Amino acid sequence: MSIEQSSAERSRFPAFYKLSVSDRVRIIHERGWLSAEDYQTLVSGEHTLKVHKADKMIENVVGVMGLPVGLGLNFLVNGRDYIVPLVVEEPSIVAALSSAAKVVRGAGGFTVESTEPVLIGQVQVVDVPHPAQAKAILLQRKDELLNLANSLHPQMVARGGGAQDVEVHLHTRAEGSDMLVVHLLVDTRDAMGANLVNTMCEGIASLVESMTGGRVFLRILSNLADRAMVRARCVIPIEDLTTKGHPGEEVRDGVVLANEFASIDPYRAATHNKGIMNGVDAVALATGNDWRAIEAAAHAYAARGGRYTSLTRWYKGEQGELVGELEMPMKVGIVGGSLQSNATVALDLRLLGVKSARELAEVMGAVGLAQNFSALRALVTDGIQQGHMTLHARSVAITAGATAEIFDTVVERLVESGEIKIWKAQEIVLQVRKEARGVAIAPKLSEQRVPDLRACGHGKVILLGEHAVVYGSHAIAAPVPLAVRATVQDTASGSVDMLIPRWGVEYRLHRDPAHRDSFQRSLGIIFDTLELTERSIRIEVFPNVPRAMGLGGSAAMAVAVIRALNQHFRLDLSDVQVNALAYRCEEVAHGAPSGVDNTVATYGKLVLYKRGRQLEEAPAIHELALTKPVPLVIGISGKESLTARTVGNVRSAWQRNPALYEGIFQQIDQLTLQGVDAMQQHDLERLGDLMNICHGLLNALRVSSRELEELVQIAREHGALGAKLTGGGGGGSIIALCPQNRDTVIAAMREAGYQAMEVDIG
């Protein structure tokens, strides 16, 4: 038998999970992973922490809590076999890691690099008379600082570690003066090094004061250990990704797309990185390392660019293979008192067999990447099995050339079609583009039964009149080719389950309204009113309207859900009833809504809207007929528009000075009525002027934002006749009137980092 065969036989444990605990311990002993002494310790349970030892570790001890120790199998890291001890209470993590490691092992294993185990100590200096001069002095005399620091730990220096370098940073304080911070870079070798670094920082404090003329305040290590990095990599051929019912290319593309989601969306990135830490933390606990410090460093590093993002990158390689990479701080240790006080930790380290802290960090990097792969692979394949196919559809839509402004619409229609093929996506792309440039001629508003078999709620833009409409003024509102759709399925769950995959929302509706959060309270009104709370159903929502971007997403969702329930249970609701119930949802979501959002979401028509003077009085709704469409660009800021907050702020200001604010509302009302005439006469220059003036008044109401002002300015500078915020403001979106140069305006907005789309109103 060759050495390679022997190693493979020693590290592979087929059907390991089927064995009893005692048999598992016996087989790893027989394979040479455990010494005879450690074998006896595991069998007898002598390694478990006893109360009298726990009492010497922390304060106020009253007992000991146990956690399972499992083994991650099949790991091949830098050509060496490992079985990895994991301390974790969450089911499936150990199995998922072992499965992922087996796949990667078949493709050559993980390749991991690490930097020297350097920890940063910080010495904060305030009241420095000449900060720039002090910085220069510290750097000129840094050898004195290093020598003093190393004199405090000569044994660390003898082992090849110790203080290596000094950095100096200047920060501006809120009051305007400078704060000077000295970074002491210390190679702690195989120790975690926290106490060592803190001692060095304390030791050099007086010398720092004498050099700077300032006063040293804090002297402490930093847990952002970005000088102790690991970079793990794996390459997986697509044939190794194939599972039953899921071709390898499909899985590869799904993993790449899921990772892209985490790279651009911090809400997804948080869950994505949490999955990585599921594996990393389990090894940290097993080996006695400070998992809290590792977590802090990982998340701080993920946000180093000013926006929280993914710690991993998955992409398609030159030969079509799946390539995964992870980069993160990993400052760990394998020696020290805290590591030696727990017998299980010492046993786990011997079982793992690492010879240095860097080797341990490299294994943990491989574990993090393996855990991420297993999570993404499960997400992709489970999603396909459940019939949603969303990730695959997104990949196909990209291949078919779906651009940003139509991408979500193409994906949703592709999923609905059930034909997740490039030819189908290309067909949908052409259709959506045709619809976006066309003019929708819709029937009159009427008391019709709900006709939309797809259970749709329309998004909207307000051309003129937002905020003033809450106080009885007119508003012009129009539907946009963005909508929310919903489906209802009977289940055996015994509850109402809501799933919105695109927004990462999944919850089970509490039957008791008192226990519902704000999101559940809004939609819960629907189920309470329709007496469906006791039903056993699953509602899936497909939002093409961006969330909290001033485009009527909450109202569109309410209408879509009501219509889906109406269709499923044959409730025979009219549009008026749908609209009224959606308005009640809006009251919960926004506090004091005008009613315009739910009206457009329900009817999908261009309307002049004025709310009733009293709550019980019906609003005045007039459909507007135009001879020609009004060409707009919608610019989306990416900053959430919290309508309830902006409406509340305007109300507070109105209550303080009603005469002043009612004057502004009246001006907006006059602009809106003039806007109706301009639209019907297709006098776009006049309409643009009215939009610009309206935006100025809305800015005076303090409902704009930096992002909205930038978008408005971009639109005007690139030829828009008029531009203004639309909706609640405080974030969200703007509209720009662009009869000649929509492509130029859209390109400029995208160049500035915003989303943009064109739409014809009328």
Catalytic residue numbers, as ranges: 90, 274, 290, 388
d(CA 416, CA 413): 5
Query: Which residue pairs from 89-96 have beta carbons closer than 8 angstroms and sit at least 24 positions apart in sequence?
Result: 90/278, 93/278, 93/279, 93/282, 93/371, 94/70, 94/282, 95/17, 96/371, 96/374, 96/375, 96/378
Q: For residue 112, what are the β-bridge partners? A: 232
d(CA 521, CA 589): 8
8 A C-beta contact, residue 624 and residue 677: no
Query: Which residue pairs from 351-354 have beta carbons closer than 8 angstroms and sit at least 24 positions apart in sequence?
Result: 351/28, 351/33, 351/34, 351/38, 351/83, 351/85, 352/82, 352/83, 352/84, 352/85, 352/287, 353/33, 353/82
8 A C-beta contact, residue 548 and residue 503: no
d(CA 526, CA 558): 8
d(CA 100, CA 372): 9
d(CA 419, CA 400): 13
8 A C-beta contact, residue 123 and residue 205: yes
Burial of residue 501 (number of CB atoms within 10 Å: 0-12, 13-18, 19+): middle
8 A C-beta contact, residue 348 and residue 287: yes
d(CA 442, CA 276): 50
How crowded is residue 305: how many other Cβ atoms within 10 Å of its Cβ?
Answer: 8
DSSP state, residue 213: S
Q: Which amino acid is at 32?
A: G
Q: For residue 179, what are the β-bridge partners? A: 171
Rg (CA), the chain: 31
28 backbone dihedrals φ, ψ, rounded to 5°: -70, -25
d(CA 470, CA 653): 14
Residue with tokens 């209550």: 655
Cα 57 to its chain centre, rounded Å, is 37
Spatial strand order in the sheet of 630-636:
722-726, 733-737, 630-636, 755-761
Handedness of CA 305, 308, 312, 316 (dihedral sign): negative
